[in-house]
Chain A
Amino acid sequence: MNSREKILGAISINKPSLIELPVIDIKSTSSLSVDWVDEFIKTLESIGGKVVQLSSIDLIKLEIQQAKLRGEYIVNTLPVLGEVNNEINPTMEASLLESIDRAYIEGSIGVAENGSVWLYEHQIKNRLLPFICQHLVICLNINKIVPNMHEAYQQVDVAKEGYGVFLAGPSKTADIEQSLVIGAHGARSLLVYLIN
């Protein structure tokens, strides 16, 4: 008998008799009169992220142009914002990605209760991109904000692609005497543009 058989066999002997699976029926009483966009902004800002509401993407396009002129390595993955960086593909080497200053990617939905944004693999082009860049910018449709994780999981299909992530704010740590430091191993900052 191999280990798999031994383990599954032991479980089948030792497990208790079947207990019913509960139905998830969360009635969030706090959800009745809350502005979800407002909640999203407040929460994301409280965890170190920055949020800017825009009705036009012109400002972003300008920002990208100016940064490129300054010589920064800017990665843009959204065609509407201008030229897209075609060198960013799933197999691009980490050592090359390391020099990216700022990356602009598109998010799918935002979650108000925790300030997170769901990113599909196809949106980030390379799995390392949102982590290895120094600064991350996410463009999110302001109408795509849901109250909580239950609704989030109904809106996105996390198994559709090989990878996806709920990303909430810049990377951080409090491992040194509980002092919060923003910018651990992932991006040092997160800016979310909520676009109308």
Chain B
Amino acid sequence: MNPKNFNRLFFVPIQGAGLSHSAAAEIFNKDEERTDWHDETLWFVREKRDKAVKQISEWEQLRTLGSDIKDHTLSNLDVYLAEFEKNAQANGIKIHWAIDAEEHNEIILGIIREQKVQQVVKSKSMLTEECHLNDYLAQRGIDVVDTDLGERIVQFRNEPPSHIVLPAIHLKKQDVSETFHEHLGTEKGNNDPQYLTEAARQHLREKFIKSQLAITGVNFAIASTGGFVVCTNEGNADMGAHAAKIHVASMGIEKIIPKVEHLGVFLRLLARSATGQPITTYSSHFHQPRVGQQMHIIIVDNGRTKQLGRPDFRSSLKCIRCAACFNTCPVYRRSGGHSYHTAVAGPIGSILNPNLDMKANADLPFASTLCGSCSNVCPVKIDIHVQLYKWRQVLVAEGFTTGGKKVAMKGMAFVLSHPSIYRISGKIGRWIMRVFPFIFNNKSFNPWYKQREMPEAPEQSFRDWYKKNKK
């Protein structure tokens, strides 16, 4: 049999999303040195998180609080969203609701056209990535400038971000230097991060000052006051929002928290989990537009209400987008964010994305060994590894698996329910391995054998030994 056909029998091809995670990860791993560098860089971020966490003796209590506050909020979400809307409107903020990505993008386009906006700046918002806002606007002749340094770098390179907090973590200094040389005219070969950052500062300051519309994300939206918080280290969200005459903040419905006092819990959890800092440089609290400014908030569903209706998976909506799970995941570190072919990669992405599109994302819950490290670092105690297991059952039940796997699993189930057949199969299998080793020692048909030796096949199983020696 042609190895390619054999592979198609067992390896799930992903429709419309390019390569599956395993195929992309295989390509990623071809450059072993670069994989090591990527892995070590992200492990270092995990270590910084550990150091920060160990300084807070009440850390586990904070995690429980964060988790419980979010659980409560999700169980009362409609009430809180209505309260938020009322309070925000009373403060002069315009509220929009978007059922899906398309509607979200249309709303922003509408504002741009109505207000005759020429220049747009955007700070980090995973939601706008999810909605493919930049592409949507570009197709309609509107250029959005991403102002987070990492995002600006990948924007110049025409790539998606590979990490929700560290968008350019997959790039080395040389890569950034080449990109800036091409787009900003910096010195060729000058890799100094200070020099490159300064170039970006000058370039983006001009954009901040000249832009009429600033789009930001929302880290937390407070129901009791109608305000919202945006956290950055660079100050780009504020530079954009305070200079532009229109500020649009995009938020998922799940960003709501009930009261101001809850911010104490979440702001203590967020930056420590994300980068090991006690807090981001700026935690900006917006309640009213400034004098003469328009402020809009777009509240977006895009599949979140559907996830809310899935009892096993609804707690994934507690996510505060810290990416601690990415940094600890041994698979993510050795495959890179682009292998996950979605806006939000890593372990949390693997339990959020199948809800959006099971067909395109059927591979993601399998990109894991279920080691459980992610669940331990999650500041809001999402049982990520448990949900990965449960998504696997759902995807198979919905038919998102290959014919080959179905047959193999049915066969396995049969053998393992029939002890005598299990024993005979085992005996025969071991015999074949001893007498015809080349059948298994084949790199084209046996993925195990590509880089590992097969285990030895003993003549006696344990049961054989037991019967001989003990009975």
How many residues of B are counted as interface, with CB atoms below 8 angstroms from the partner's CB atoms?
97
A131-B264 contact in complex given A22-B69, A162-B287, A162-B288, C-beta closer than 8 Å: no
Please state if B234 and A184 are interface contacts (CB–CB under 8 Å).
yes
Please state if A131 and B75 are interface contacts (CB–CB under 8 Å).
no
A178-B44 contact in complex given A128-B242, A163-B287, A184-B233, C-beta closer than 8 Å: yes
Which residue, of A26, A30, A47, A161, has the highest number of chain B Cβ atoms within 10 A? A26
A15-B78 contact in complex given A94-B243, A179-B173, C-beta closer than 8 Å: yes
Query: Shortest CB–CB separation between residue A86 and chain B, in angstroms?
Result: 16
Please state if A184 and B149 are interface contacts (CB–CB under 8 Å).
yes
Please state if A11 and B253 are interface contacts (CB–CB under 8 Å).
yes
Q: Point out the residues of chain B lying under 8 angstroms from A165, CB to CB.
A: 238, 282-285
From A28, A29, A95, B209 is in contact (CB under 8 Å) with: A95
Indicate with 1 or 0, residue by residue over B133-170, a CB within 8 angstroms of chain A CB atoms. 00000000000000111100100000000000011110
Residue A7 at the B interface, CB < 8 A? yes
Residue A17 at the B interface, CB < 8 A? yes
Query: Shortest CB–CB separation between residue B397 and chain A, in angstroms?
Result: 20
Please state if A149 and B149 are interface contacts (CB–CB under 8 Å).
no
Quick check: which of A57-65, A67-75, A76-84, A166-174 contacts chain B, the rest being far away? A166-174
Quick check: which of B298-306, B409-417, B452-460 contacts chain A, the rest being far away? B298-306
Which residue, of B204, B267, B278, has the highest number of chain A Cβ atoms within 10 A? B278
Please state if A175 and B168 are interface contacts (CB–CB under 8 Å).
yes
Residue A115 at the B interface, CB < 8 A? yes
A173 to B176, CA, bound (A): 14
Q: Point out the residues of chain B lying under 8 angstroms from A166, CB to CB.
A: 267, 279, 282-283, 285
Please state if B301 and A7 are interface contacts (CB–CB under 8 Å).
yes
Please state if B239 and A185 are interface contacts (CB–CB under 8 Å).
yes
Please state if B282 and A7 are interface contacts (CB–CB under 8 Å).
no
A186-B281 contact in complex given A17-B75, A30-B57, A175-B168, C-beta closer than 8 Å: yes
Query: Shortest CB–CB separation between residue B129 and chain A, in angstroms?
Result: 16
From B69, B201, B238, B279, A183 is in contact (CB under 8 Å) with: B201
A20 to B265, CA, bound (A): 17
Please state if B292 and A18 are interface contacts (CB–CB under 8 Å).
no
Q: Point out the residues of chain B lying under 8 angstroms from A111, CB to CB.
A: 279
Q: Point out the residues of chain B lying under 8 angstroms from A10, CB to CB.
A: 301, 305-306, 308-309
Please state if A186 and B72 are interface contacts (CB–CB under 8 Å).
no
Query: Shortest CB–CB separation between residue A137 and chain B, in angstroms?
Result: 16
Quick one: closest B residue to A170, CB to CB? Answer: B281
Q: Point out the residues of chain B lying under 8 angstroms from A187, CB to CB.
A: 235
Please state if B197 and A176 are interface contacts (CB–CB under 8 Å).
yes
Which residue, of A150, A162, A170, has the highest number of chain B Cβ atoms within 10 A? A162
A163-B281 contact in complex given A8-B82, A16-B74, A177-B171, C-beta closer than 8 Å: no
Q: Point out the residues of chain B lying under 8 angstroms from A47, CB to CB.
A: 277-278, 281
Please state if B279 and A114 are interface contacts (CB–CB under 8 Å).
yes
Residue B262 at the A interface, CB < 8 A? yes
Q: Point out the residues of chain B lying under 8 angstroms from A21, CB to CB.
A: 68-69, 72, 258
How many residues of A are counted as interface, with CB atoms below 8 angstroms from the partner's CB atoms?
75
Give the A-B contact count at a CB cut-off of 8 A: 264
From B57, B208, B260, B280, A153 is in contact (CB under 8 Å) with: B260
Please state if A19 and B194 are interface contacts (CB–CB under 8 Å).
no
From A16, A20, A150, A161, B261 is in contact (CB under 8 Å) with: A150
A24-B264 contact in complex given A175-B167, A177-B171, C-beta closer than 8 Å: yes
A164 to B287, CA, bound (A): 9
A42 to B433, CA, bound (A): 64
Q: Point out the residues of chain A lying under 8 angstroms from B172, CB to CB.
A: 177
Query: Shortest CB–CB separation between residue A162 and chain B, in angstroms?
Result: 3
A29-B243 contact in complex given A6-B99, A184-B149, C-beta closer than 8 Å: no
What are 30 A-B pairs at a CB distance below 8 A? A11-B253, A11-B305, A15-B74, A16-B314, A20-B68, A21-B258, A22-B69, A22-B72, A26-B61, A28-B58, A30-B56, A30-B57, A47-B277, A94-B208, A116-B283, A127-B242, A150-B264, A150-B265, A158-B225, A161-B287, A163-B286, A167-B281, A167-B282, A176-B153, A176-B168, A177-B41, A178-B166, A183-B201, A185-B147, A185-B234
Chain B interface residues (CB < 8 Å from chain A) = 41, 44-45, 55-58, 61-62, 64-65, 68-69, 71-72, 74-78, 81-82, 91, 97-99, 103, 147-150, 153, 166-169, 171-173, 176, 193-194, 196-198, 201, 204-205, 208-209, 222, 225, 227, 233-236, 238-239, 241-243, 253, 258, 260-265, 267-268, 275, 277-292, 299, 301, 305-306, 308-309, 311, 314
